Structure 1
Amino acid sequence: MSLLEAILLGIIQGLTEFLPVSSSGHLELGKAILGIETTEDVTFTVVVHGATVLSTMVIFWRDILDLLRGLFSTDWNESKKYIAMLLWSSIPVVIVGLFFKEEVESLFTGNVLLVGCMLLVTGALLSFTYYSPKEGGPVTFKKAIIIGISQAIAVMPGISRSGSTIATGLLLGVDKSKVARFSFLMVLIPIIGANCKDILDGGMANSVVAPLPLLAGAIAAFISGVLACKWMISIVTRGKLIYFAYYCFAAGAIAIAAHFIA
């Protein structure tokens, strides 16, 4: 992987991890366009995902600090309840990761047709948010597990994790700012867990990606992730997800057409 390719993929990862257009789908499309084959080397994926986790922590550092302070208090409080809901929402994606890892990984083989079809699904889901309640309430345990199921489904390349979780929350009647916060914080658990598992399994021991492209990709993912996260919070608050639905429809149609033309 060249330095330029690493930077481009890092930017794609950082932007699309938070914007509702599917980071996994765009990474697959990016690899297909650039002719990059990295399915046997998880190092780059671990590094750029770690960079986007760091960007989330930078944006929500106050929220994370407040949650940690509440966690170490002696009484049951809102912070402990919120952390419990984050853990509760992670159960579906953990089940998928533990028991269906090989089946999920088999989908990440440059299948442009699958990515195109799933982008259309993402576009449809984002479109439905137009009919979501105008006034919303808090996240509850019931709503958290449903949002968690949508996150588990979003392991499919082309289905946006942020798009599906935020759209699901909005359709369940969660307040716009609250669902954006919950969506971005809930991703920390599965990404950190998956990265730790890959490291412990020795997946990074024989990386074929040179250190400089790895560093460049991480920096690109971090910077673009910070910008995208701030932008996405503003987009959700202003109710402008419909524009990303149009984008997903267009990108999905192009990907499907490219598959049949190639």
Structure 2
Amino acid sequence: MSIFKVILLAIVQGLAELLPVSSSAHVVVAGKLMHLNMSSPQMTLMLVMLHTGTMFAVIVYFWNQWKRTFFSSADAFKRFAIRAIWATLLTGVIGEAINKLIEKTMFKGSSKAEIELLFDRLDLIAPALAAAGVIILIAGLMEKRRMGAHEQVYGDSVTMRQAGWIGAVQGLCLPFRGFSRSGATISTGMLTGASKERAERFSFALAVVLTPAVLGREFLRLVKASHEATAAGVPIDFHGSVVSSLLGAVFSFFAGLVALRWLSSWLEEGRWYLFGIYCLVASVVVFGLYHAGY
């Protein structure tokens, strides 16, 4: 893959990842338009490395906020850690259960059952975008109704109940490209009574916790595919794929910082519902591209 395409995908990923509009859907559509195989091991590793770049953007952008909240004292960190572990546990259990269910039903009788093989299916991405759009729209409209109302809070973190719901919904997001992780989790936090700022902080902290595990999974998948391809006499450019992915991570990092500033300003100004409208419109566009043969 050319450097130009890597940079373009990185910019799309970085700008979309930290907005609640599903970066995966945008990157897959961009890749499809560039005639790339978005379900190949090389490309799924690229996607995860792009996520890694934006993960570092999250750390840089939120670090001062996290120091004032999650790391302000031993007690605050303990509250956050318990909630993060609880949410991540639910994410892993629900996400893995859905993965296995999909692999055993949609790949029944196939010699190769990997959830990643569905990642470039526009006919699956479009309804996932629509589902995310509906959740975001509902959360945004409810937020506007109760603006100015007194909110029940617990310290500087979300409650255990809110963390559980956020983690569970994050698990639902993992297998489906288009079902925006940030959009669904922040909206879930808002719908369960958390302020949008607390939901945003906790959601992106969970992304930092989750990314290394997902990166490891995709790296091992590429290693396995590389060995299989070498045995079959059609070797994969393993080192080239890794270098391209690292380059993409750098560009997605800087694009992610820009997106985070935009996201936070829109959260503060009560425009959350507009992201839901965008996802619904994007769903229609993706359906159109699918029927056009992409």
Question: Shorter-chain TM-score: what band?
Answer: 0.7 to 0.9
CA distance in 2 between counterparts of 1:214 and 1:111 reads 22
Q: How far does the alpha carbon of each residue in 1:19-68 deviate from its partner, in whole angstroms, 9 at most, with x for none? A: 01111211221221111124222432332122111111101222445645
Structure 1 or 2, whichever has the larger Rg, is: 2
CA distance in 2 between counterparts of 1:204 and 1:57 reads 28
Q: Which amino acid aligns with 1:163?
A: G
| Cα distance, 1:31–1:63 mapped onto 2, change above 3 Å | same
Verify the 8 A CA contact 1:122 1:159 in the aligned structure 2: yes
Q: 1:1-262, aligned counterparts within 5 Å?
A: 1-38=1-38, 39-41=40-42, 42-65=44-67, 67=70, 70=73, 73=74, 77-96=75-94, 98=96, 101=99, 103=103, 104-108=115-119, 110-129=120-139, 130-132=141-143, 133-134=146-147, 135=149, 136-138=151-153, 139-155=158-174, 156-199=176-219, 201=220, 203=222, 206=226, 207=238, 209=240, 213-262=244-293
Q: Which runs of 5+ in 2 are unaligned?
A: 104-114, 227-237
Verify the 8 A CA contact 2:9 2:248 in the aligned structure 1: yes
Verify the 8 A CA contact 1:87 1:189 in the aligned structure 2: no
| Cα distance, 1:68–1:198 mapped onto 2, change above 3 Å | farther
SS at match of 1:114: helix
Verify the 8 A CA contact 2:128 2:179 in the aligned structure 1: yes
| Cα distance, 1:248–1:239 mapped onto 2, change above 3 Å | same
Verify the 8 A CA contact 1:94 1:190 in the aligned structure 2: no
Give the CA deviation at 1:183. 1.1
- Note the aligned Cα RMSD (angstroms): 2.3
| Cα distance, 1:31–1:202 mapped onto 2, change above 3 Å | closer
Q: Which runs of 5+ in 1 are unaligned?
A: none
CA distance in 2 between counterparts of 1:225 and 1:161 reads 15
CA distance in 1 between counterparts of 2:239 and 2:287 reads 31
SS at match of 2:222: coil
Verify the 8 A CA contact 2:17 2:256 in the aligned structure 1: yes
**What is the count of residue pairs matched by the alignment?**
255
| Cα distance, 1:59–1:167 mapped onto 2, change above 3 Å | same
CA distance in 2 between counterparts of 1:164 and 1:149 reads 10
Percent identical residues:
27
Verify the 8 A CA contact 1:124 1:245 in the aligned structure 2: yes
Verify the 8 A CA contact 2:95 2:172 in the aligned structure 1: no
TM-score, length basis structure 1: 0.87
CA distance in 2 between counterparts of 1:149 and 1:106 reads 23
Give the CA deviation at 1:101. 4.7
| Cα distance, 1:83–1:113 mapped onto 2, change above 3 Å | same
SS at match of 2:194: coil
Verify the 8 A CA contact 2:129 2:179 in the aligned structure 1: yes
Q: Which amino acid aligns with 1:241?
A: W
| Cα distance, 1:27–1:92 mapped onto 2, change above 3 Å | farther
| Cα distance, 1:225–1:204 mapped onto 2, change above 3 Å | farther
| Cα distance, 1:175–1:64 mapped onto 2, change above 3 Å | closer
CA distance in 1 between counterparts of 2:18 and 2:89 reads 21
